[in-house]
Amino acid sequence: MSDWKLIYTDLKKEQEGLRESLCALGNGYFATRGAAEESEADGVHYPGTYLAGGYNRLKSELAGKTIENEDLVNWPNWLPLSFRLENDKNWFRLETKQVLSYRQELDLSEGLFRREMHVRDEKNRETRILSTRMVSMDNPHLAAIRWEFEPVNWSGTVMIRSAIDGSVKNEGVKRYQALNSQHLKIIEQGETDDVIYLLVQSNQSRIYMAQAARCQVFFKNKSVATKRESLQEEGKISERLSFHVSQGKTVKIEKIVVLSTSKDRATSDPLDNALEVLCDEPDFSTLQARHSRAWKRLWKQFGISLKSRGNSQFLLRLHIFHILQTSSVHTIGRDVGIPARGWHGEAYRGHIFWDELFIFPLLNYRLPDLTRSLLLYRYYRLRAAKKLAAKEGFAGVMFPWQSGSSGREESQVMHLNPRSGKWVPDNTYLQRHVNLAIAYNIWQYYEVTGDMNFMKYYGVEMLLEIARFFAGITTWSESKQRYEIRKVVGPDEFHTAYPESNEPGIDNNAYTNVVTSWLFSHALKAFDIIDTSRQETLKQKLQVDDREFRKWEEISKKLFVPFMEEGIIAQFEGYEQLREFDWEGYRKRYPDIKRLDRILDAEGDSVNDYKAAKQADVLMLFYLFSSEELVDLFQNMEYEFNPEWIPENIKYYVSRTSDGSTLSRVVRSWVEARSDRECAWSCFREAVVSDFEDIQGGTTPEGIHLGSMAGTVDIIQRCFTGLEVRDNILWINPCFPNEISSFSMQINYRGTWLFLDFSGTQCRIELKDETDSPIKIKFRDQFFEISGKTTKVVS
């Protein structure tokens, strides 16, 4: 592994799925897993191609019930490329040959996936193949493969087979295997002069996707004459090219592919479009040069330089790479959100959760237009969110826990416990806090960008509607003389009900209640910053008035927050009555207790009964808010809160958390950063290898974890640097673990690029552009303003 390359030099069946996820290529429009071109779905390999926002719904019969799921569709596989030599029956598959050497590498700087194979067949013929693949960051509809094919010790005729395979299904997640998986209908397949094509349609959402591919052979940059034939099978179109090769003479085989869909802009018919675009596209190396330049531009904005112990620099680059492959400049303006698991696999069905909370901070400071576009994905689903709120009897909007195409609730109602093989009800959809995350993201986006236009036309409306919903779900408790929020689920998904209760949900989740108080004050603050004419329009449009605002203010001050002894915030009301969990005993009995819920369920017990959390819940408060902000928040709610209680709270909950979500370690590292730097670093290291080492034992092959990928970069970006925007001031207050010796990055603050270089106790701040007005900065205790192209060194 180098700082820019993920390299494997062996073949490991059991790691293939993981490598396919980690080596997936994408461009924010579509992504394709890093499966071998010559492979097909067979239990080891799983080629998958996913379109951003390419969903389809299917009904399945399960335990006597009909359930419906919306899935991220596995679209036709454009990868197939293989060969066979004269008189051979079988097509090349690595597994069937003697492998003399193998190397695969993902090149992050250029966005290329390479496989280098040297193989020998049963007739002692040796062949070397260097495969280079890209999914263009320049033209999002384009992908290409080049094989450099060298007959090492033989000459003769070789036949190449290239195909587009639409007979694929959604079979990437074992747990979903009992569900229907046939999402595609074949509409048309065929060939023109030198192009094969396939048109499919998703059978419920009716999205058309056309793929067209051209395969050509070159020797020394000159086209090689080939004998060509095509073959039609059900849902699969192939072509075969035969030609002569001579020992030691490397030929290049280039497969260029265009994908076009009915969801594209500036398109009439996707198939016509695909064929037309393909016609215009030149050779692989020209396309590669454009692709590399596009990546170069992105790395200029997203590049970081970290000098530290271990391979963190590389891993953070890998994370940034996958974030940009999921969501990039090509996502802007498309009606898609950012999925928790990337467009890299089928886990969680490509759904959009609250994980944006962990992802947007990275985008806000580098590609704010992208955050804006992703926030608009929510805005365009206000109608659906309003319907969801109304269904529960509330005004305002309730965004779903899991969101897909239309914005309706896409959470599954049952989930399979792979340990017990039982389907159990899934009540995690009660996580209303996803709405708070959306509100928080809007405000953060505004703080960093100052984008008043967004606030005026979209942001404030969403904030008001969310606030209105939360006002609706609060109820007044006479006995407590406080407002409550009952029957919800907090970020910790283990607690979905009280012990022995048949009713789902818990009451007064501290995180939800505190952030709700924040929501009310910030919805009102946001309303105040927009001009009066827009205020009037919104008042009229939403039928909201000052009386309602005053009510929100009142609720904000009187929300109930449960406390246990000595300043320990209770995760929810009644938490103290739960039983302590035997962590030591279970760790001895089970090699991995991250998914304690499944272990206990399989034992006939329930995790609801214990003080045991899957992930950070109360700790999320210390993740989102500084101690000063928390003091203010609690003061507003008329509670005493002493920042000295924070370390005790952290200790209490860390020892009762199984870290069953990769997000949990990100939060742990963050909250420990100011009090225990050693611990912060070790949590950061655990978080940073989550996907690379697939520490959850099998989840990464089903899709990467974008929240923790972005979250780990953000730990360095904002947490260790103390970077924050508050009250129109850019705050920088670094506190790095000893293991980090220097760090630098570029950030965009309100339209201006700043270069920040941290080394020892010093920070060099370089203003890259002229600014209209000076930038206010507070570095530790020093306040200053900078403008013009300046450099300032502070310590």
Binding residues for substrate: 354-355, 614-615
Residue 399 found at the interface with ligand BGC (CB under 6 A): no
CB nearer to ligand BGC: pick between 16 and 493: 493
CB nearer to ligand BGC: pick between 660 and 734: 660
Q: Pairing mode, if any, of strands 791-794 and 5-8? A: unpaired
Residues in region 314-343 near ligand BGC by CB under 6 A? 340
SS3 content of the chain, % helix, strand, coil (to 5): 35, 30, 40
CB nearer to ligand BGC: pick between 569 and 704: 704
Residues in region 469-498 near ligand BGC by CB under 6 A? 491, 493
Number of residues located near ligand BGC, criterion CB under 6 A = 12
* Cβ 754 to ligand BGC shortest distance, Å: 31
Q: Considering only 350-358, 466-474, 498-506, 530-538, which stretch makes contact with ligand BGC by CB under 6 A? A: 350-358
Q: Considering only 47-55, 172-180, 349-357, 507-515, which stretch makes contact with ligand BGC by CB under 6 A? A: 349-357
End-to-end Cα, the chain, rounded Å: 35
Q: Considering only 7-15, 84-92, 197-205, 346-354, which stretch makes contact with ligand BGC by CB under 6 A? A: 346-354
Residue 179 found at the interface with ligand BGC (CB under 6 A): no
Identify the residue among 30, 113, 354, 520 touching ligand BGC (CB under 6 A). Answer: 354
Token readout for 748 is 């965009």
Q: Provide the total of helices (H) and of strands (E) in the chain, helices listed first.
A: 21, 32
* Cβ 707 to ligand BGC shortest distance, Å: 5
Binding residue ranges: 354-355, 614-615
Residues whose CB falls within 8 Å of the CB of residue 109, separated by 6 or more in sequence, listed in order: 4, 295, 296, 299
Residue span 596-615 as binding mask against ligand BGC, x where in contact by CB under 6 A, dash where not = ------------------xx
Residue 416 found at the interface with ligand BGC (CB under 6 A): no
- The residue sitting closest to ligand BGC, measured at its beta carbon, is 340
| Residues facing 128 on adjacent strands | 118, 150
Residue 552 found at the interface with ligand BGC (CB under 6 A): no
Q: Pairing mode, if any, of strands 304-308 and 222-223? A: unpaired
* Cβ 152 to ligand BGC shortest distance, Å: 47
* Cβ 491 to ligand BGC shortest distance, Å: 6
Neighbours of 368 (CB within 10 A): 21
Residues whose CB falls within 8 Å of the CB of residue 579, separated by 6 or more in sequence, listed in order: 609, 610, 611
Residue 526 found at the interface with ligand BGC (CB under 6 A): no
Query: In the 8-state DSSP scheme, what is residue 530?
Result: S
**Phi, then psi, of 754 in degrees rounded to 5:** -120, 140
CB nearer to ligand BGC: pick between 142 and 713: 713
Residue 355 found at the interface with ligand BGC (CB under 6 A): yes
Give the DSSP H/E element, type plus range, for residue 314. Answer: helix 312-326
**Contact criterion met (CB below 8 Å) for 80 and 38:** yes
Q: Considering only 6-14, 141-149, 348-356, 568-576, which stretch makes contact with ligand BGC by CB under 6 A? A: 348-356
Among residues 409, 465, 493, 573, the one annotated as catalytic is 493
Residues in region 640-669 near ligand BGC by CB under 6 A? 661, 663
* Cβ 661 to ligand BGC shortest distance, Å: 4
Q: Which of 610, 428, 424, 393 is nearest to 504 (CA)?
A: 428
Gap between the Cα atoms of 429 and 470, Å rounded: 16
CB nearer to ligand BGC: pick between 217 and 624: 624
* Cβ 614 to ligand BGC shortest distance, Å: 6
Residues whose CB falls within 8 Å of the CB of residue 260, separated by 6 or more in sequence, listed in order: 141, 209, 210, 267, 270, 271, 273, 274, 277
Gap between the Cα atoms of 211 and 196, Å rounded: 8
Residue 702 found at the interface with ligand BGC (CB under 6 A): no
Residue 283's alpha-carbon distances to 155, 159, 386, 733, in angstroms, are 26, 21, 50, 50
Task: Supply the DSSP string of 402-461, one letter for each residue.
Answer: SB-SSSS----SEEEETTTTEEEE--GGG-THHHHHHHHHHHHHHHHH--HHHIIIIIHH
Q: Which of 625, 651, 664, 648 is nearest to 490 (CA)?
A: 664
| Residues facing 231 on adjacent strands | 238
* Cβ 711 to ligand BGC shortest distance, Å: 11
User: Any catalytic annotation for residue 493?
Assistant: yes
Which residues form the interface with ligand BGC (CB under 6 A)? 340, 348, 353-355, 491, 493, 614-615, 661, 663, 707
Active site residues: 493
